[in-house]
Amino acid sequence: MRLNLRARPLVRQLQILFFISGFSALALEVVYVKLLRYWAGNTAAAVAAVLCAYMAGLAGEGDLYTREFYELCSARLLDSGVLQQWVPLFDLSLRDTVIILRTVRQVFPYVTLYMGAESGMIVASRSPLEVNYARLREMDSNPQLARLLASLQLPRVFSLLGDCIFVPEGLDAFLAPSPERRISTDLWPHLEYSNARFYLVNPSSRALRLHLLSAQEFRTPPIIGAEGATRGAIQEYAFAERSRLVQTFPPR
């Protein structure tokens, strides 16, 4: 659908106003945090109070994790298409994480979850999720990518496979015994406000990430085109990265 030419200036003005309002909200949040220090001190409760006041009214983000949203994505993908979605694991409870994963799994038959030091990444498709060794080897020989990996303390591109904490079968096994059976929908927008309540009670998601890392025995997605010693070498790089990730959240 083409946008009416007369409406374009109005859209541009709305975009500018939206940007200004967002910037103003962030500026006010900083001011409120500083002012609250004089009354409550520089405490986690003081900061959480301001964050919750803003996050409780933050509409729209929960809509990105509903069944209806995933159905829209699936309808616009080819059978071989892939959905890649950021997940704020640093700001989620175990219950909300299960709800998100169960919701996307209801729409897509193949779902994996990758996790870094801060957040996660959902990868979902209607077709089996497989890794192409020839494509990985091509990426591994890219000097620009090699410099980026070095800045992340990753020796090879194969190391990234160690950040896959759930393959599709592992995710299904993880969700099966969970008592939380509900999914996120437009008519049940639980995720819109639950993260603010969770942060107020427990501002650390360290326990969640440790739980996810230990929920599945180490496995990588299927690697097509790699056999024998080559597959073993890839597994070693991936396992080294998984070990490094686990050490990021050592048990207390």
CA distance 205 to 192: 18
The DSSP symbol for 84 reads E
Residues 148 and 28 in one domain: no
Quickly state the pLDDT bin for 180 (edges 50, 70, 90).
confident
Residues 197 and 76 in one domain: yes
To which H or E segment does residue 14 belong? Answer: helix 8-40
Q: What is the mean pLDDT of the chain?
A: 81
Look up the domain containing 39 and give its range. Answer: 1-55
Determine the average pLDDT of the residues in 20-24: 61
Residues 48 and 64 in one domain: no
Q: In what order do the strands lie in the sheet with 120-125?
A: 82-87, 120-125, 110-115, 164-166
At residue 91, the pLDDT reads 79
Residue 201 has pLDDT above 50, yes or no: yes
Residues 104 and 206 in one domain: yes
Of 87, 56, 76, give the one whose Cα is nearest residue 189.
56
Beta strands 110-115 and 120-125: pairing type? antiparallel
User: pLDDT digit string (tens) for 29-85?
Assistant: 555 555 555 554 555 555 555 555 555 444 457 888 999 999 999 999 999 899 999
Amino acid present at 49: A
At residue 2, the pLDDT reads 46
CA distance 56 to 170: 33
> What is the dihedral sign for C-alpha 70, 73, 78, 84?
negative
Residues 44 and 115 in one domain: no
CA distance 185 to 64: 10
Residues 214 and 133 in one domain: yes
CA angle, corner 187, sides to 97 and 11, nearest 5? 95
Residues 101 and 189 in one domain: yes
> Token pair 């309002």 is at which residue?
21
Beta strands 82-87 and 120-125: pairing type? antiparallel
Quickly state the pLDDT bin for 8 (edges 50, 70, 90).
low
At residue 123, the pLDDT reads 95
State how many domains the chain has.
Answer: 2
Please identify, among 9, 31, 55, the residue that sits at the C-terminal boundary of a domain. 55
Residues 77 and 115 in one domain: yes
User: pLDDT digit string (tens) for 108-158?
Assistant: 999 999 998 778 999 999 999 999 999 999 999 999 989 988 988 889 999
Residues 148 and 218 in one domain: yes
Residues 200 and 124 in one domain: yes
Residues 235 and 167 in one domain: yes
At residue 141, the pLDDT reads 92
DSSP codes of every residue in 125-181: ESS---EEHHHHHHHHT-HHHHHHHHHTT-SSGGGGGGGEEE-HHHHHHHHTT-S--
